[in-house]
Structures are given as C-alpha cells and as structure tokens.
Amino acid sequence: MSQSPPVDSSSPAPAPRRVYLPLPLHQSRLTWVLLAINVGVWLLMTALGGSERLEVLIAFGAKFNPLIVEGQVWRLLSSIFLHIGLVHLLFNSYALFRLGTDVERVFGSGRFLALYLLSGVGGSLLSFAFNSHLSAGASGAIFGLVGALGSHLFRHREAFGQLGRRQLWDIIGVAAYNLVFGFIMPGIDNLGHLGGLVSGVVLGWLLGPRYSVVLTAEGRPLVVDHNGWRRYWPGLAVVVLVLVTGTGLAMWVQADSAAVHLWRGQAALDAGDPARAVAELERAVARDPRSADGYFYLGVAYSELEQSALAAQAYEQALRLAPGAPEVHWNLALTYADLGRYEEAIARMEEFIALGPEQAYLSRAWAYINLWQRKLGQ
C-alpha cells in the first residue's frame, strides 16, 4: 500500500502566479468618421473664403459669445468641428487619430462618441463663460479623451500593473505640459482645454469599462465589462443637466458683458441707429475700459449723431489704447477738422500716413492735409 509523504507545514506556500488576460476591445470606426468630418468642413470653409476669416468662422458656427447669448447655443457643439488654418487642423487631427483610436477601442463607439461630444461642449462652455474671444477647434474634445483615458488608467491602476501606472503618469504629464503651454502661448483658448479635460475625467469615470473576471463554460477565465448603459445613464443624465444649467447661467452672465454690448453697438450702427449704438457702446466701455474697439465705435456713433466733441474724446481714448490703429488716426483727424482744430487734424493725418496706408487712402490723406493747411493760411 502506498503512502503519501508527510506534509512539511513549515515550508512556504508557492507564490501566486500572475495571469495576463486580454481585455474586451472594440473596433475604431467613429474616430475615422470624425476625422473625415473635420477635414471636410475645413475644405468647405477654405473653398468659401478661408478658414481663418472671421465671417467664414462665424457663418460655420464658431464659438462667438454675442450670438450664443442671442440663442445660438448650438455653437457650443458646432465649434468643435471647425479649425482655424491648416496647422490647427493637422495638429488636432493627429491628436484625434492617436487618442481617439485608443479610447474608442476601450470604451466602444457609443460611449466614445458621447465622451467626445460632451467633452467638446464642456470645453466650449467654460470658454463661453470666461473668454470673450471667438474660438473654434476640437482641442476641448481631445483633452476630454486625455481625461477619460486618465480616469480609466487610474481606476484599473492595480490590475494594469507597472505598465498601467507608467501610462497614467504619461497621461498626466501630457495634460500638464499642454495646459502650461496654453497659458504661456498667446491666442490659445486654454479655458476650452481645461473644460474639456475636466469633462473627460468625469465622463471617463462614469462611462469607462468596469472589468471583472468570470469563468466560461469551459472553465477558462475571461475579462468582461460590467458597465452597461443601465449603470451609467443616471450619471450621464446629471452631466447633461449640469451642462444645460451651466449654459443658461453663462448666457445670463454674458448678456451684460463688454463683448456682447460691443457687438450690439456695431449691429446698431450697421442698422443706421446711432442713438442705440451709443447706449450699447457706452455700456461696453464701462465694462471694459481697455476696449479700444469700444471707444472707436463709440466715436463713430457720436460722429453720426454730429456730436463731434464727444466723438473726439472717444477717439482720443481709443488712440491711447491702440496708438498703431490707422483707422483711429483717420477718424480723429476728420473729427478735429470738423471742430476747426486743423493743426491737430494735420498731425493725426501725418501719423496716419506714417503707418503706410494703401495708395487710395494715401492720396486722400494728402488732399486733406493740403486743404487744412490752406484753411490755416499756410
């Protein structure tokens, strides 16, 4: 009869063996669709006048605060499909290709699309609330992908091991570098980046896969994602509600902003209503005393009301704020002439000439100077 050898209870138990299991991944299709849309819209903008022209950007749906305040809230979404120039398009397309394919494979096409669009809107909303400048681009949505990937890696940092933790720190470094770069470089809508990043972190936590290991009928371990729509839809609804509420609050705040009053004043001038333009433009410069455009158009409105003394004061303030603006020198010269202040008019027109105007304006400028010199008896 055979007998088993005695068990030595003092010997250490064997260390558990780490098993690597494949994650459930999806195909990346929508990323290519989004890339095609971005390129197609840019080509159409280029064909209709250029993607860097203000009027083209506004016509195609850029984030433009005065029109959003007037009710065109769809610009918070449409602006993420527009790009200002070829370099802007190429940079964002490369980032979308690199990040979008990875995030879509992990999250699936439906959750990826919700993440991309809502992060883009979140970025546009923060920019709308605190940045009066026109803006466009997919950067907010792309930062949302960065934030979502960071949430995913953080949630599974233990399961993914050292490689996952290293990728998490890489994502944090990429986000930090680009945010710092955005604050340093002028012309970058960093608020849009920040809004997209925060939205992506939240949405990534809500929509991201929640893995567990189950055994198949054959007894093989299998990784499955338990985060179905029944689990995440309440959180997603809260995010949408926050975005809608935030849009309403931002519209209420921006309705009394300098940019909106400036836009309304310009529109009143175009409509031939200088009295209404004065009222709007006075509000604009009261809210932003550093607005050279506000004082310039206020001067135009006063001029149309034949209030030359007030027009001169407005132009003088615009000139202090923007001494290199040729249109301010021109209008102030003509206003001084209306007031009989010909020496000052000549000096302003000479400054206008020094700025190198087009030939047609140059000839007219010298004609005015000769006229005013004759009035002075020179």
Q: Which of 225, 254, 283 is the last residue of a domain?
A: 254
- CA distances 296 to 1, 59, 293, 317, Å, are 109, 25, 5, 8
* Burial profile 3-16: b = 16 or more Cβ within 10 angstroms, e = fewer: eeeeeeeeeeeeee
H-helix or E-strand spanning residue 286: helix 274-287
Clarify whether residues 362 and 294 are in a common domain. yes
Q: Which of 254, 283, 312 is the last residue of a domain?
A: 254
162-204 pLDDT per residue, tens: 877 788 787 888 777 777 766 776 778 889 999 999 999 999 9
Clarify whether residues 174 and 286 are in a common domain. no
Task: Check whether 10 has a pLDDT greater than 50.
Answer: yes
pLDDT band at 1; cut points 50, 70, 90: very low
Residue 6 lies in a domain: no
Return the amino acid letter for 159.
Answer: A
pTM, two decimal places: 0.86
Residue 303 annotated as catalytic: no
Residue 319 lies in a domain: yes
Q: How many domains does the chain have?
A: 2
Record the tokens describing residue 258, joined without a space.
């300098």
Task: Check whether 5 has a pLDDT greater than 70.
Answer: no
Clarify whether residues 321 and 370 are in a common domain. yes
Clarify whether residues 181 and 270 are in a common domain. no
Residue 299, judged by CB atoms within 10 A of its CB (0-12, 13-18, 19+), counts as: buried
Clarify whether residues 204 and 267 are in a common domain. no
Clarify whether residues 107 and 244 are in a common domain. yes
- Residue 44: other Cβ atoms inside 10 A: 12
Residue 242 lies in a domain: yes
The single residue of 83, 152, 193, 329 carrying the catalytic annotation is: 193
- The candidate with the shortest Cα–Cα distance to 105, out of 208, 193, 232, is 208
Clarify whether residues 165 and 243 are in a common domain. yes
Clarify whether residues 47 and 196 are in a common domain. yes
286-307 pLDDT per residue, tens: 999 999 999 999 999 999 999 9
The CATH number given to whatever domain includes residue 245 is: 1.20.1540.10
Q: Which of 236, 254, 272 is the last residue of a domain?
A: 254
Task: Check whether 76 has a pLDDT greater than 60.
Answer: yes
Mean pLDDT of all residues belonging to the chain: 90
CA atoms within 13 A on the CB side of 301: 26
**Residue that the structure tokens 């953080």 belong to:** 154
Clarify whether residues 299 and 233 are in a common domain. no
Answer whether 159's CB lies under 8 Å from 209's CB. no
- The candidate with the shortest Cα–Cα distance to 194, out of 147, 132, 148, 241, is 147
pLDDT at residue number 73: 97
E-strand ranges in the chain read 211-215, 221-225
Q: How far apart are CA 191 and CA 195, in angstroms?
A: 6
The residue range of the domain holding 319 is 258-375
The CATH number given to whatever domain includes residue 307 is: 1.25.40.10
Rounded to 10 degrees, what is the CA torsion of 293, 45, 92, 118? 80
The single residue of 93, 119, 139, 303 carrying the catalytic annotation is: 139
Residue 21 lies in a domain: no
Rounded to 10 degrees, what is the CA torsion of 169, 175, 177, 182? -170
Clarify whether residues 270 and 335 are in a common domain. yes
Mean pLDDT, residues 345-358 taken together = 92
Residue 235 lies in a domain: yes
pLDDT band at 2; cut points 50, 70, 90: very low
Clarify whether residues 299 and 218 are in a common domain. no
202-220 pLDDT per residue, tens: 999 999 999 888 888 787 8
Q: How far apart are CA 106 and CA 204, in angstroms?
A: 11
Task: Check whether 360 has a pLDDT greater than 50.
Answer: yes
Q: How far apart are CA 86 and CA 10, in angstroms?
A: 71
Q: How far apart are CA 240 and CA 53, in angstroms?
A: 32
Residue 83 annotated as catalytic: no
Task: Check whether 310 has a pLDDT greater than 50.
Answer: yes
Please spell the DSSP secondary structure of 187-248, one letter per residue: T--HHHHHHHHHHHHHHHHHHS--EEEEE-TTS-EEEEE---HHHHHHHHHHHHHHHHHHHH
